[in-house]
Structure 1
Amino acid sequence: MRLREQIEQWEREHLSRYAALSGESRGRARPEDPCQIRTAFQRDRDRIIHSKAFRRLKHKTQVFIAPEGDHYRTRLTHTLEVAQIARTIARALRLNEDLTEAIALGHDLGHTPFGHAGEEALNQVYTEGFKHNEQSLRVVDVLEQGTGLNLTWEVRDGILHHTGSQKPSTLEGQIVRIADRIAYINHDIDDAIRAGIIREEDLPKDCLDILGYQHRDRINTMVMDMINSSWDQPEIRMSDAVQKATDRLRSFLFDNVYIGSRAKSEEHKAKLLVKELYYYYLEHPKMLPPDLRDYAEKVGVERAACDYIAGMTDRYAVAQYVRLFVPQAFRNL
């Protein structure tokens, strides 16, 4: 028996009755021979980690644009924190860790430069609208390697529905959906305090009384509550008390960090930069990279320009803007 088949057999014997089994995946859009060693979900995880889109996450904004300091989160470190939290929960609930990890590692591949500011800018100028979760699916389906990564249906479903009105179809995807919030709520508090945007004593005391007064305590409370509330259940959830405290803490961040704070003082510039790049490539499609010019003939210049800009890192977007709009004589001033 091959190693992959042994792992699939182990899953059938030991995982929860609600787990997504790799041997029973709904498959890939393009059929391919299975790996002798890795399960389908393990293979998907590896494809995501080795993708160029994954590597670019290290130079994409999480919340703070070009922060002065080495300890602020980037989109990559956020992704790794989500994966770690999600795997812990999946293991405790006897769900499929490999599927959970693959979804977590791929959930933000479609995020723009400059975080949600870039997302809002593209959504405003691209006629069909732009959402980062849909773009993440587009990355793994179409853009990466020119033909996509041909991931399994379960991973693709989890990536697409990690945010938005529709829940993922698998419990593993539902774990990532909540783990994403657990991660960003807590690490954005940490970064905002580090930046002097808020103080520890500003956090709503009624939430801290339930969740904990330290960063690690809050994460532990949320994770343990998810495990206890979801044990041997057909859905992933928190208890009412912890869910309300988590939502209240998230609302506090929107009111004090995400909207109108010093952390967002440069966002209007970032949005302007993204929009100007988009309009420029619409008017000058020949300035797109050679491979994207052929791509634009198939999907239209608007779609090609949107995909190109969405894939940029912060610093590459700035470099392109400088190259296109700033006269040579002024670039080193």
Structure 2
Amino acid sequence: MTIRERTEQWEHVALSEHAAFADCTRGRARAERECDIRTAYQRDRDRIIHCNAFRRLMHKTQVFICPEGDHYRTRLTHTLEVSQIARTMARALRLSEDLTEAIAMGHDLGHTPFGHAGEKGLDEITPGGYRHNEQSVRVAQRLERDGAGLNLTVEVLDGIRCHSYGCGDAITQEGRLVRFADKIAYMNHDIEDSIRARIITADEIPFNVKCTLGRSKSERISAMVESIVRGSGDDIVMGAPELAAYQELREFMFAQVYKSAIVADEERKGTELVKRLYEYFVAHAEKLPDEYRQIAGQEGKDRAACDYISGMSDRYAIALYEELFIPRSWTKPPVPSGAGD
């Protein structure tokens, strides 16, 4: 018996009947030889962590575009926080931590530069619109490994696709758990970043939220996590008081932070920058890198431009925009020795 087989056997003994067992996966688009050490979900997690798109998350906006200071969240730190919260709940509910972690690590692979500002720009200009969760699946299955994709399992891809509201429920409890973990993470770290940016103060957080969930980030996260662990059984649910407080907190954040003048002004710039880049590359597809020119020939210029721009980091998008659209000062070349004598 291999190490992988022993792990799969252990899962059937130790995990809940609601868990997604690794040896019961619905498989991959392309069949592969099993690893002797890692289960299918462990391999998916490792493939995601080692892929190019995952590394680029460290230079992609969470809420604040180009913040001054080292302590503001990026897409990468957000992803790690989602993973930690989701794994805590998975362990408490005896679900698959490996599947949970793989989904959490991959859920934002398709996010644009400048966060939701970039997503808004592509959604407004791309035929058929743009959703980062769908793009995350495309990154994993079509764009990574020079077009070969990561060949992830059905359960991981489904959890990535369904982590956003409006996309239906994931087929696994692990996937539904990550959706909650994503909301818990971003709401609480966005509060912390907004206080650091002096957009809000801790005293402004609604009184009912502080009474129900607590006054600190740690207390709020613990309250929501414990509510989900206590209330979940046949499905993943949050208790009514905590869910109502979360909704009130979300409305507060949208009114005071996400739609605030300081955030909205920078988001407008990010949105317009992304749209300008998109228009340029649709009109000049020959300027795209080789792999995206191939996509243009196979799936159209719009698809290729969208794939290229959505994968950019904030700083790369800004540098490329400056190169394409911002005039540079011109310096005369040095006069050769003896010229003009």
Map 1:99-248 onto structure 2 (within 5 A): 99-145=99-145, 146-165=147-166, 166-230=168-232, 233-248=233-248
Match of 1:306 in 2: 306
Q: Is the Cα–Cα contact under 8 Å of residues 295 and 303 in structure 2 kept in the other structure?
A: no
Q: Percent identity?
A: 56
- Write the distance in 1 (CA, Å) between the matches of 2:14 and 2:52: 35
Match of 1:40 in 2: 40
Match of 1:263 in 2: 263
Q: Is the Cα–Cα contact under 8 Å of residues 64 and 264 in structure 1 kept in the other structure?
A: no
Count of residue pairs brought into register by the alignment:
329
Give the 3-state SS of the residue equivalent to 1:31 in structure 2: coil
Q: Which residue type is aligned with residue 212 of structure 2?
A: I
Map 1:47-86 onto structure 2 (within 5 A): 47-86=47-86
Instruction: Measure how far apart 1:327 and its partner are.
Output: 1.8
User: Considering only CA atoms, is the larger Rg found in Structure 1 or Structure 2?
Assistant: 2
- Write the distance in 2 (CA, Å) between the matches of 1:208 and 1:242: 11
- Write the distance in 1 (CA, Å) between the matches of 2:79 and 2:244: 24
Q: What is the TM-score of this pair, normalised by structure 1?
A: 0.97
Instruction: Measure how far apart 1:294 and its partner are.
Output: 1.9
- Write the distance in 1 (CA, Å) between the matches of 2:218 and 2:69: 22
Match of 2:277 in 1: 277
Structure 1: 5+ residue runs without aligned partners? none
Q: Is the Cα–Cα contact under 8 Å of residues 197 and 263 in structure 1 kept in the other structure?
A: no
Bigger drift between 32-41 and 266-275 goes to 266-275
Q: What is the TM-score of this pair, normalised by structure 2?
A: 0.95
- Write the distance in 2 (CA, Å) between the matches of 1:100 and 1:304: 31
Runs in 1 of length 4+ with deviation above 6 angstroms?
Answer: none
- Write the distance in 2 (CA, Å) between the matches of 1:171 and 1:330: 60
Instruction: Measure how far apart 1:199 and its partner are.
Output: 0.5
- Write the distance in 1 (CA, Å) between the matches of 2:254 and 2:318: 27
Per-residue CA deviation, residues 53-106 of structure 1 (Å, 9 max, x unaligned), is: 000000000000000110000000000000000000000000000000000000
Instruction: Measure how far apart 1:247 and its partner are.
Output: 1.0
- Write the distance in 2 (CA, Å) between the matches of 1:185 and 1:137: 24
Give the 3-state SS of the residue equivalent to 1:277 in structure 2: helix
- Write the distance in 2 (CA, Å) between the matches of 1:180 and 1:283: 37
Q: Which residue type is aligned with residue 45 of structure 2?
A: R
Per-residue CA deviation, residues 129-170 of structure 1 (Å, 9 max, x unaligned), is: 100000001111101111110000000000000012211110
- Write the distance in 1 (CA, Å) between the matches of 2:143 and 2:280: 21
- Write the distance in 2 (CA, Å) between the matches of 1:222 and 1:239: 8
Give the 3-state SS of the residue equivalent to 1:164 in structure 2: coil
Map 1:2-21 onto structure 2 (within 5 A): 2-21=2-21
- Write the distance in 2 (CA, Å) between the matches of 1:258 and 1:160: 24
Against the structure 1 CA distance between its residues 157 and 46, is the aligned structure 2 distance closer, same or farther, given a 3 Å change threshold?
same
- Write the distance in 1 (CA, Å) between the matches of 2:195 and 2:261: 12
- Write the distance in 2 (CA, Å) between the matches of 1:31 and 1:196: 52
- Write the distance in 1 (CA, Å) between the matches of 2:264 and 2:180: 25
Instruction: Measure how far apart 1:330 and its partner are.
Output: 7.6
Q: Is the Cα–Cα contact under 8 Å of residues 15 and 94 in structure 2 kept in the other structure?
A: yes
- Write the distance in 1 (CA, Å) between the matches of 2:274 and 2:204: 34
- Write the distance in 2 (CA, Å) between the matches of 1:330 and 1:270: 28
Match of 2:338 in 1: none
Give the 3-state SS of the residue equivalent to 1:108 in structure 2: coil
Over the residues paired in the alignment, what is the CA RMSD in angstroms?
A: 1.0
Q: Which residue type is aligned with residue 196 of structure 2?
A: R
Give the 3-state SS of the residue equivalent to 1:68 in structure 2: coil
- Write the distance in 1 (CA, Å) between the matches of 2:50 and 2:227: 33
